[in-house]
Amino acid sequence: MATNSTFISASLLPHLLILLLLPLSLAAPGGGKWNLLLSNIGVSAMHMQLLNNDRVVIFDLTDFGPSNISLPNNQCRNNPNDLTLKVDCTAHSVEYDVASNSIRPLNVFTNVWCSSGAAMPDGSLLQTGGFNDGDRNVRVIKPCTDSSCDWQEFNNVLTQRRWYATSHILPDGRQIIIGGRGQFTYEFYPKRAGADQAYNLPFLSQTNDPRIENNLYPFVFLNVDGNLFIFANNRAILFDYVNGVVLKTYPTIPGGDPRNYPSSGSAVLLPLRDLQGGANITAEVLVCGGAPRGSFTSVNNGNFVGALNTCGRIRITDSNPQWVMETMPLSRVMGDMVLLPNGNILIVNGAAAGTAGWELGRNPVLTPLIYRPNNPIGLRFEVQNSSVTPRMYHSTAILLRDGRILISGSNPHAYYNFTGVQFPTDLTMETYSPDYLDPRLARVRPRIISPASQSQIGYGQQLTVNFTIEGRIDRDFITVTMVAPPFTTHSFSMNQRVLVLNNGNDSSSIVKSLGRTNYQVRVVTPGSNIVAPPGYYILFVVYREVPSQGIWVQIK
Binding residues for ligand NAG (CB under 6 A): 27-28, 31, 33, 40, 68, 277-278, 280, 385, 413, 415, 417-418, 420-421, 427, 450, 466, 503-505, 514, 520, 524
CB 457 within 8 A of CB 523: no
User: Do 509 and 524 meet the contact criterion of CB atoms below 8 Å apart?
Assistant: no
Query: Going by C-beta distance under 8 Å and a sequence separation of 6 or more, which residues neighbour residue 141?
Result: 51, 57, 106, 124, 125, 127, 149, 150, 151, 152
Q: How far apart are CA 10 and CA 279, in angstroms?
A: 32
Closer Cβ to ligand NAG, 191 or 440, answer by number = 440
Residues whose CB is less than 8 angstroms from the CB of residue 278 and which lie 6 or more positions away in sequence, other chains included: 224, 225, 527, 528, 530, 531
3-state secondary structure 465-517: EEEECCCCCCHHHEEEEEEECCEEECCEEECCEEEEEECCCCCCCEEEECCCC
Q: Which residues contact 219 (CB under 8 A, 6 or more apart)?
A: 166, 229, 230, 231, 232, 236, 259, 260, 266, 267, 285, 287, 492
- In the three-class reduction of DSSP (H, G, I as helix; E, B as strand; rest coil), residue 198 is classed as coil
Cβ 356 to ligand NAG shortest distance, Å = 16
Min separation Cβ 406 and ligand NAG, Å: 17
CB of 418 to ligand NAG, least distance (A): 5
Question: 196 or 318: whose CB is closer to ligand NAG?
Answer: 318
Contacts of 534 (CB under 8 A, 6+ apart): 121, 171, 173, 554, 555, 556
Q: Which helix (H) or strand (E) holds 15?
A: helix 12-20
Minimal distance in Å, beta carbon 261 to ligand NAG? 21
Q: How far is the CB of 124 from ligand NAG (least distance, A)?
A: 28
Phi, psi of 12 (to 5 degrees): -80, -50
For ligand NAG, give the closer residue by CB, 457 or 524: 524
User: What is the C-alpha to C-alpha distance for residues 331 and 255, in angstroms, rounded to an integer?
Assistant: 15
Q: How many CA atoms lie within 13 A of 410 on its CB side?
A: 30
Least separation in angstroms between residue 452's CB and ligand NAG is 8
Q: What is the DSSP string of 357-393?
A: STT-EEEE----EEE-TTSPTTS-EEE----SS---T
Task: Pick the closer one to ligand NAG by CB: 205 or 417.
Answer: 417
Nearer to ligand NAG, 116 or 428 (CB): 428
When the beta carbons of 297 and 450 are compared against ligand NAG, the nearer one is 450
Query: In whole angstroms, how close is the CB of 13 to ligand NAG at the nearest point?
Result: 6
Kindly state the smallest distance separating residue 504's Cβ from ligand NAG, in Å: 3
The string of DSSP letters for 207-220 reads T--TTT-TTBS-EE
Cα angle 377-380-383, degrees, rounded to a multiple of 5: 140
- CA–CA separation, 10 and 422 (whole Å): 36
Q: Please report how close the Cβ of residue 174 comes to ligand NAG at its closest, in angstroms.
A: 24
Q: Which is nearer to ligand NAG, 33 or 475 (CB)?
A: 33
Closest distance between ligand NAG and the C-beta of residue 140, in Å? 29
Q: Which is nearer to ligand NAG, 38 or 140 (CB)?
A: 38
Give the integer Cα–Cα distance in Å for 325 and 321: 13
Alpha-carbon gap, residue 233 to 534, rounded angstroms: 30
- Residue 267 or 427 having the CB closest to ligand NAG: 427
Taking the complex as a whole, the smallest distance from the CB of residue 189 to ligand NAG amounts, in Å, to 30
Q: Specify the residue, 446 or 485, whose C-beta has the smaller distance to ligand NAG.
A: 446
**Closer residue to ligand NAG, CB minimum distance, 28 or 83:** 28
Integer angstrom CA distances of residue 195 from 186, 192, 394: 11, 5, 34
